[in-house]
Amino acid sequence: YPVKSYGDVLGYNTAMKKIEDKIIGKFDSIKNNINDDFHKLWMSKTSFENHIEKRIKQGHIVDKNDYILKTLSCLSNCDSFVFAEHKNSWDNICYNHSKSWAVIFNEQGQIMTSYNIEPKSKSFEASQLSIKAKIKKGVPNERFKQYFKQLRK
């Protein structure tokens, strides 16, 4: 068998675990008051508020609480992820649930967007490939999903 470097064997799994730990850490910081503090998971409160308005106008959600529930549901039931690695920008990770809802994080564990997947829209993977990202795909860690199942309760 060919010998693989430590990074080839463990690098990706270790990198994914680090990002997932950052995501969980961000949620841990607001878990006692999710509805009021959910905006803290975003890069800015204004960006979050504008995003909620946009999703309501598109008919994807009825209000902020619906948005939070759909985001948590996606993360607790996600069946795949796409990791986009960039040379000169933050890496992104997209979690999908049955190709119906997606949540995208940056490598710092901040939410960039959470949205209803439109069948005719360009996929996260396709949009990242078009800007020369290196793509890795996989199945989310059960520990990660269980964390969000507990948080939803």
| Distance in angstroms (rounded) separating the CA atoms of residues 82 and 21 | 17
Residue 15: what pLDDT? 76
Q: 152 falls in which pLDDT band (50, 70, 90)?
A: confident
Q: Which is nearest to 67 in space by CA: 53, 79, 81, 83?
A: 53
pLDDT digit string, tens, across residues 90-125? 889 899 988 899 999 998 999 999 999 988 889 999
Q: Which is nearest to 102 in space by CA: 92, 117, 87?
A: 117
DSSP code string of 98-128: TTTEEEEEETTS-EEEEEEPPTTSPPHHHHH
pLDDT digit string, tens, across residues 11-25? 446 778 888 999 999
Q: Judge whether residue 82 has pLDDT over 50.
A: yes
Strand order in the sheet with 92-97: 111-116, 101-106, 92-97, 80-85, 134-138
pLDDT digit string, tens, across residues 29-57? 999 999 999 999 998 999 999 999 999 99
